[in-house]
Amino acid sequence: MSKKNYINVANKSANIQINELKKIKSVFNESFIKTVDLILGCKGKIVFSGLGKSGLIARKISATFSSVGIPSFFCHPSEALHGDLGQIEKKDLLIIFSYSGNTSELSNMLKYANRFRIKIIGVASNKNSILLKASDIKIVLPKVKEADMIGMVPTSSTSISLLLGDCLATTVMQQKKFSKDKFKVFHPGGNIGKSLLLAKDIMVTGNKIPSIDQNKTFQEALKEMNKKKLGCVVVTKNNKISRFISDGDLRRALNKSNNNKKLSNIGKNNPFVINENMPASKSLAIMSEKKITSLLVVSDQDRNKQNKKLKGIIHIHFLIQRGIDQ
């Protein structure tokens, strides 16, 4: 096979799966609606199960549900026979994936669920399968053409199962009004967590802000800057932002021979500010563009006001420490 043919084979496989996945719309029916309602009304956990490739898909879908705040775990059918069935309670909801629906290893799990009246949602392509006959809600997957050259390797069938799980998760998320703020709670680390951080999550506030009233002296401003160690000080008037003084501004003022070192004559008047809900990554881009190391943070309400109340300060070091980039 020539290397050029690699691409042709890959394109053919991709096109088959793309076309087969369009069949997913056939499952958006009454069974799908009942499944969403059961998930929304579940007082316990959503338990996913499956064997082989279906098990891998079920495990991934369970992880998706957990990541959006829906208590869920994966229970392997074989491990279930050796004590793991004890994890499943009557108030839980059992969702089992098996493309054929006739996987023999599922039988004991089905018997256990029926015995303790645990609701079962079966997902299979054969409406007459063992799984769907034992299920309270039956989701019948469409028959699909596998995307390999012999038409037997689970490709399109696993993809459409995964797509169903993602559609269930996104529908439930919509009904629960799941927001970025909630998503951030469950993803504090990694790239997702970083991308969801806002200015208010990183800024220093309260007594940690280097600020001083405009009627204070130059020496007091220098003392405040050294104490808070952010390389700047914010000058306020009636508790509103008046000026921003960097360490460079103070050094230049020290080098001047005149004695006119009033704070009102040093630094920048009406300094640039950002609102507290700005993504942290965007604040880094602004620092890079303006060649500055600190940004003043105000509330959304104050952003366009003439007199703004300072809520916090972001320093470039805070962003670097969090591993945030543009």
pLDDT at 252: 83
pTM of the model: 0.65
pLDDT at 65: 92
Domains along the chain with CATH numbers: 3-178 (3.40.50.10490), 199-321 (3.10.580.10)
pLDDT at 136: 95
Query: How far apart are the C-alpha atoms of 50 and 96, rounded to whole Å?
Result: 6
Structure token digits, residue 194: 């970083």
Q: Which of 134, 172, 183, 186 is nearest to 39 (CA)?
A: 172
CA 293 remoteness from chain centre: 28
Task: Tell me whether strands 268-269 and 273-275 are parallel, antiparallel or unpaired.
Answer: unpaired
- Structural contact between residues 79 and 86, judged by C-beta atoms closer than 8 angstroms: no
Structure token digits, residue 134: 């034992």
pLDDT at 194: 61
pLDDT digits over 255-265, tens only? 775 556 678 77
pLDDT at 13: 94
pLDDT at 37: 96
Structure token digits, residue 315: 């320093």
pLDDT digits over 202-213, tens only? 888 988 989 988
b/e burial code for range 102-134 (CB count within 10 A of at least 16 → b): ebebbeebbebbeeeebbbbbbbbbeebbbbeb
pLDDT at 195: 65
pLDDT at 284: 82
CA 289 remoteness from chain centre: 28
Residue segments in the chain with a per-residue pLDDT below the cut of 50: none
Q: Which residue has the tokens 């799966």?
A: 17
In angstroms, the first-to-last Cα distance of the chain is 42
Structure token digits, residue 251: 């050094």
- Structural contact between residues 211 and 234, judged by C-beta atoms closer than 8 angstroms: yes
- Structural contact between residues 233 and 210, judged by C-beta atoms closer than 8 angstroms: yes
Q: Angle at the Cα of 48 (from 105 to 89), degrees rounded to 5?
A: 90
